[in-house]
Structure 1
């Protein structure tokens, strides 16, 4: 099998692998293909290719998919693509957009035909996928230039449940605006960089001080003539409704 061939190939290079890739090699060798270590990737350039182990039926299926959908979207066969779940039993796939920057994948999935029977059910064919809703919303916004994009920054982890309610209300009063939520993990500076990278029109910031005072900070990003302001939550709703 390809997995066995990959392990045999990497055996002489164990001393050159970092701890994370060594763990992958022992637990799930295919995950080594997804290594972010440049030295590991250099080694893998000479590794066996999964193309040598794919059966004829799978090759014909991939060729058929590429042919049928080539007029709708660009399809590339990537023999080193690895998904993070171990129960996939056939091909895996990702959908990417050049508009999303470094994290360009917004959809991923694959076949897991044996999963149902492994869990005690019938032996059924299966395929599934997961979609990143925030990234999908960003793409939708990019395809409609007139729509505004607002980044909602939550600056404290204990405020997340309360901030979600505010975000839900904002979305309900103006469905033409895309609201991108940034959770409390990470620094405020990194969230602002992400908002700028996403071409957000405004950033709404709520931290401990703002929440205690029932206020929010509104920071314009694409209009140098407008200044940052602190407003009440009620005024935030009015502002958001009229963007």
Structure 2
């Protein structure tokens, strides 16, 4: 079977993706970045206890960058092939973490914006549904999309009661059906107001489980954290091909 050697920093082996978790008390159902059943490959989690929803989303505090880098380095030492996170606003730390590691880093679903734009006609725009529109500032967006070629239309969930209760206010209970209704309503409204939208990006890591419903309601391609993670994982674990010719 071959020779295996100890990896000094590893406590377990075989993990494809390392996921940095912010400190929160949200439920993580299947389809959420924080639920391991969302993947067809092994993932490894590491919580950063001084990064919270309030400090990251509401305040935009970047002082925790050393803690984020340290956690990412720990996951790299454990042998993961790439690093992501469970919050799109972790984009604040993308440059620092990428500079400190030797493996791909994709801390925010927003990093897909240039790729999505490149797939669309010049006249098309992109719809973005995020956790807090007020905090999705032009400065933050510029970290992922520094040279916009397609217009962005953003809808936030900060005033959606079910989403706010479960995610932003961390009440410990998630009504998935109610949140799905809120997300779909915002997506439909975006497309009605801006019919030139060619694709929709779900910023928040809690939203991929609603992507299919958004797609059914809008008929658009829907991107999220999981489309990004699956894409990078696939590039790092290529399979061989067999068959007839």
Scaled by the length of structure 1, what TM-score is found?
A: 0.25
**Bigger RCO (CA 8 Å, 6+ sep):** 2
Q: Which has the larger radius of gyration?
A: 1
